[in-house]
Chain A
Amino acid sequence: MALPLKYNFRNVLVRWRATLATILGIALVVAVYVLVQALAVGLEKSAGNTGDPRNVMIVRKGATAESSSQVSLAQFQTIRYWPQVAHDENGAPLISADVITLISQPRIDGRGEANVSVRGLTPLGRQLRPQVKLVAGRWFTPGQREVAVSEKMARRFTGFHVGDTFHTAGNDLTVVGEFDGGNSAFDSEVWMDADEARSLFDRENYSSLLVRVTGPTAAQELLARVESDKRLPLRAEAEVKYYGDQTATALPIRILGNFLATAMSVGAVFAAMNTMYASVGARTREIGTLRVLGFRRRSVLAGFILEGALLAAIGGVLGCLLSLPLDGYSTGTMSFNSFSETVFEFRITPWLATKGMIFSIVVGVIGSLLPALRASRLPVIAALKSV
């Protein structure tokens, strides 16, 4: 006969003072676990939101980031007229040649400077990235020293709001617009005209090409053609895959998260164990009575494990609730891949919350296993006699 669930549930409630600390402890551990993982998820999401399946990215062979890649004007002109490239309604090939430069810019909180990615785009570049939307001001005019800045970057660096000017490479640039990158990697960028960027930063070549292809087979053909053409020292890759590979920055955060989760869960298991042992100790007579009433050892064992799991689950729910307010909060760090500031958000997904809950229940079960065993093994007579 199994112990009624109500018994365990009431026990958790009745001894609330003793269990509150344990619940809070587990809640904090779960909150830390969920938040650190949420950072990694946010970084990966931002990369995942960036690529368009219809686009192909072309960079120099061997370059791991756009900023260290070079594509010459001649190469751009060659690829432009390939049949795999889609055309817009006016018959212009849908291809953008971009120039990526990093500029060092002071942070808004006065704590030093960081590298910011500046992307120069040819006129069709915006059309190839429809997730980027203007939210204030207007887009830059080619031929003018004008830029549009991601609104997330505008909140982190000085001189990035509409109407501001900032000085770089010996020139003043005016911010004429702010855009929302739709939680993509473009949220970490400043955009301007490609040829303006080339003259400003004294760059002979473009950094990368973004091509809209006519269809999935065309994409494969384009990849193969770039690979096989010996005159082109370039590498073509689906844009989705290119940004997918950029998530390496999330790895140290994942390592940190796993380390913290492991170490803190060990502590949490000890805490849960302590509480459960005390609970078993205080209820020795009660357990004896249960046994006399006919409850079997395994019912008592299951009952106490259930109680530990319940305790931890309450902690888990509390932990997830504690971490929830930070969902969507944006933060930033240097990407080891692009060597520039990358903004991303804490992203608490349902799956992540589920993982947090599983984590807490595992802690509860492990923590209550030994105390429950002890409870189930108490000799009935001795248990009844104990004061």
Chain B
Amino acid sequence: MTLPTFIIKNALRNKRRALLSVSSVAVSLFLLVTLQVALRELTLPVESPGAELRVCARNKVSLTNPLPARQRPIIERIPGVEGVTPFTWFGGQYQNEGAMTFAQFAMDPKETRRVFTDFKLSDAELARFQTGKTAAIIGKITADKYHFKAGDHITLNSTVYPGALEFTIAGIFSGTADDRMMLFHQDYLDDSIGTPGLVGMWWLKVKTADDMPRVIAAINQAFANTAAEVRAESERAFQLGFISMLGNIKTLIASISTVVVFTLVLVTASTMSMAVRERFRELAILKALGFRRRELFVFILAESFGLAAAGALLGIGTAYVAYTFGNISKMTHGIFVSFEVTPRIMGLAALVAAVLGVISAVAPALAVARTSVVDGLKTLD
């Protein structure tokens, strides 16, 4: 019998216990990975291609206060600005769902390509979007969910503006960070509510990354001390603002993760020491045969490490498979669009498992090392 076979046989001699230990490690690591991914998704703004050149300008009071439409020519004249579009939250509910299931924004279709470089949309679809007054383009995720296709007519009841609007779907886009939203004509919205001359926000694109700070400063400056002061910031900073609004959720998830890890260490360490206590006599025999303390420690360590590793493989693997191939937006009712298990998070979970393997070996190994051969042989169970 070789040493590895000896260790494996030892680990599996109580198959039920081995299975239970591996499973509890697996469940805990699955939970840890899930919480870490959720935390990352909540606190990391979505990285959309082209975001580094985009600027979001909102009313300084808050995002929900509108901006006057007459600001547009002033922004357009700022050197370094390539394109500007209004971006107005419509807050529409589809049919009688009673909740908003996807976001809709009114914008200037002519600026689509100039401001949103990341849209994957055919030229024909874009042309249809730009010419039709009621035309709208919709993200692939939402389109798939409701089986929308080009040419369909849909009606949305706004929670922000009075009444409902009917839209004609001109095309389906993909390739953005959030392929759920719908875009339509600001003109159409204005006409339906009597052109109040207000927009929700301005989204613009600058020519080069070097222009960004200067353009932001210029916009903020241009409307300082007017009735509608503007707060312009990079798209990334804007997205980070949303995370700040989530408040204490981050702390909550982080502390739950800590408790999970702690519980895991506790339970597994106790199981491991149970397994070792059970064969105190056996280890004493090995000692009598001339095995050294160091070698006995390696036996125990290898076994606990092996169990932890098996649990890690199972738990992390399940999480990876479930979140990579499963439909996360369906599972969470649309709270999360993406749920990416990053190598970093898997590494963290594996590290926890490794530390766990070592910690749970230490206490029993010390006990074995301290006990004399005679005492060990005397032990009955």
Footprint of B on A, CB under 8 Å? 18, 20-22, 24-25, 28-29, 31-32, 36, 39, 60-65, 67-68, 70, 101-104, 107, 111-115, 168-170, 201-202, 233, 248, 252, 255, 259-260, 263-264, 266-267, 270-271, 273-275, 277-278, 281-282, 331-334, 339, 341, 387
Contacts and interface: CB of A to CB of B under 8 A. Distances in A.
Given A62-B157, A271-B24, A387-B380, A101 B248 contact: no
Interface string B199-231: 000000000000000000000000001111101
A63 B159 contact: yes
Contact of B63 (A36, A112, A115, A233): A115
Contacts of A331: 247-248, 252
A273 B262 CA distance: 19
Contact of A61 (B162, B226, B256, B264): B162
B307 to A, nearest CB: 12
B267 A62 contact: no
A267 B31 contact: yes
A168 B27 contact: no
B254 interface: no
Given A68-B159, A341-B245, A112 B91 contact: no
A135 to B, nearest CB: 23
B99 interface: yes
Q: Which 9 residue pairs are nearest across A and B when measured between Cβ atoms?
A: A112-B244, A21-B270, A270-B24, A333-B247, A267-B27, A334-B245, A271-B267, A104-B62, A102-B62
B163 interface: yes
A170 B229 contact: yes
A270 B24 CA distance: 6
Contact of B17 (A32, A102, A277, A387): A277
Nearest to A282: B381
Contacts of B65: 101-102, 169, 201
Interface in B144-163: 157-160, 162-163
Contacts of B244: 107, 111-114
A387 B281 CA distance: 12
B172 interface: no
A187 B35 CA distance: 30
A249 to B, nearest CB: 11
B332 A387 contact: no
A274 B31 contact: no
Given A62-B157, A273-B20, A332 B270 contact: no
Contacts of A263: 27, 30-31, 34
A112 B243 contact: yes
B100 to A, nearest CB: 8
Interface of B: 16-17, 20-21, 23-24, 27-28, 30-31, 34, 60-65, 91, 99, 157-160, 162-163, 225-229, 231, 240-241, 243-249, 252, 256, 259-260, 262-264, 266-267, 269-271, 274, 278, 332-333, 335, 380-381
A274 B274 contact: yes
A274 B24 contact: yes
Contact of A274 (B264, B271, B335): B271
Nearest to A156: B247
Nearest to B38: A256
B63 A333 contact: no
B23 A270 contact: yes
A189 B246 CA distance: 17
Given A255-B332, A331-B248, A29 B263 contact: yes
B247 A104 contact: no
Contacts of A64: 91, 159
Contacts of B20: 270, 273-274, 277
Contacts of A107: 244
A267 B267 contact: yes
B99 A28 contact: no
24 contacts: A21-B269, A25-B267, A28-B262, A32-B256, A63-B160, A68-B64, A68-B160, A104-B61, A111-B244, A112-B245, A113-B241, A168-B61, A202-B227, A263-B27, A266-B27, A267-B28, A270-B21, A274-B274, A275-B270, A281-B278, A332-B247, A333-B248, A334-B247, A339-B63
Contacts of A115: 62-64, 245
Contacts of B30: 263
B62 A260 contact: no
Nearest to A25: B267
B62 A18 contact: no
A102 B158 CA distance: 19
Contact of A18 (B160, B260, B274): B274
Contacts of A28: 259, 262-263, 266
Contacts of A255: 332-333, 335
Contacts of B333: 255
B163 A62 contact: yes
A31 B263 CA distance: 11
Contacts of A252: 335
A160 B292 CA distance: 68
A32 B61 contact: no
Given A263-B27, A271-B24, A333 B61 contact: no
Nearest to A167: B60
A265 to B, nearest CB: 9
A332 to B, nearest CB: 5
A87 B274 CA distance: 75
Contacts of A112: 240-241, 243-245
Contacts of A113: 241, 244-245
A29 B266 CA distance: 12
A20 B274 CA distance: 12
A260 B263 contact: no
Contacts of A101: 61-62, 64-65
A104 B63 CA distance: 8
A387 B243 contact: no
A111 B242 CA distance: 12
Contacts of B91: 64, 68
Given A21-B269, A201-B61, A267-B31, A233 B229 contact: no
A59 to B, nearest CB: 10
Contacts of B260: 32, 264
A67 B227 CA distance: 20
